[in-house]
Amino acid sequence: MNQEVPTSLLLCLWCDTMTVMLPSAAMPPDNLDFAWDRYETAASLKRRLDTTSGAEWLRTAAWLMREARVEQVWQFVTLQQVADAFPEISPMPGKRRPDWEHLLRAARELGRI
C-alpha cells in the first residue's frame, strides 16, 4: 500500500522549528511574505528580536537573513547588529552566507561599520 506524505509535512522537515505547514491561503493577511514556514508578522518579529538575546536572538536573526531580502532585514535589525553578531551567525544563513560576507566587507571598506 503506497501512501503519499503530504507536501506540507515534507517541507516541515526543513524548518528550523516544528511548525505544521499550512497552505498560503491559511496564513493571516499580515504575515510577512518571507515567513513561508510560520506565522510571523512585522510586529511579532520586532517584538521577538527586541525581547530575546543569546542563542534565540542569533537563530531569529539568521532566519531573517536567510529568508528575507536584504532591504527587508533592515526593518528589523541594524547593520551594526548584523556585523557584531556575524561571527556567531555566519554558519546559519546557508547559501546566503556569501552575500552577507560581501555586504559586510563592502560596508567596512566604505566606513559604514
Tens of pLDDT, residue by residue over 61-77, are 999 999 999 999 999 99
Q: Among candidates 91, 43, 99, 92, which has minimal Cα distance to 69?
A: 99
Average pLDDT over residues 103-112: 97
pLDDT at 2: 46
Rounded CA-CA distance 20/17 in Å is 9
**Which residue would you say has higher pLDDT here, 5 or 91?**
91
Give per-residue pLDDT as tens, 1-60: 444 444 444 344 444 544 555 555 566 667 677 877 777 888 888 999 999 999 999 999
Which pLDDT does position 9 carry in this prediction?
43
More confident residue, 9 or 101: 101
Predicted pLDDT of residue 7: 46
For the chain, give every domain's residue range: 28-109
Q: Which residues have CB under 8 Å from 13's CB, separation 6+?
A: none
Residue 55, C-alpha cell as written in the block: 542563542
Q: What is the pLDDT of residue 54?
A: 96
Length of the chain as a residue count = 113
- 80/18 Cα distance (integer angstroms): 30
Instruction: Say how far apart CA 43 and CA 93 lie, in whole Å.
Output: 22
